[in-house]
Amino acid sequence: MDDFYLEATPKTPKLYFSKETGEFEISGRSIPENSIEFYKPIINWLDRYIEEPNQSTLLVIKLEYFNTSSSKCLVDILRRLESLDDQSTVKIKWCYEEEDEDMQESGEDFKEIIKVPIEMVLIRE
């Protein structure tokens, strides 16, 4: 199984998901024209990863901004990681900048609906 990598654009985030290390990253802005189509390849990749996950899985989310439709896709990604809980040690880090209360609140909201612990990581400039 190959790693999944997609470079960031002004409207889409960088996606880096490594099967070899079990380290995943979503960073940048997520305001694609069609979020479901944009995230579909990574959802499919995760479905294959779930069949044979690494012993530990780490997802780091460093988003500057995301729209409502991206939020639904993020939930889909987090739910898939939730399903790994008995096969892999899953950690999620939600990074937000000190001045960005919206991203901090979004991370807190995800913490309430996802069973996997989400560590809030403050990025100081």
The predicted structure's pLDDT at residue 124: 86
Secondary element (H or E) of residue 75: helix 68-82
What pLDDT does residue 30 have?
A: 98
For the cut 90, the answer to whether the pLDDT of residue 125 exceeds it is no
Q: How much is the pTM? A: 0.95
Residue 95 has a pLDDT of: 98
- Report in angstroms the alpha-carbon separations of 39 from 15, 20, 52, 72: 9, 21, 21, 10
Average pLDDT over the chain reads: 96
Q: Which domains does the chain have, with CATH numbers?
A: 4-123 (3.30.750)
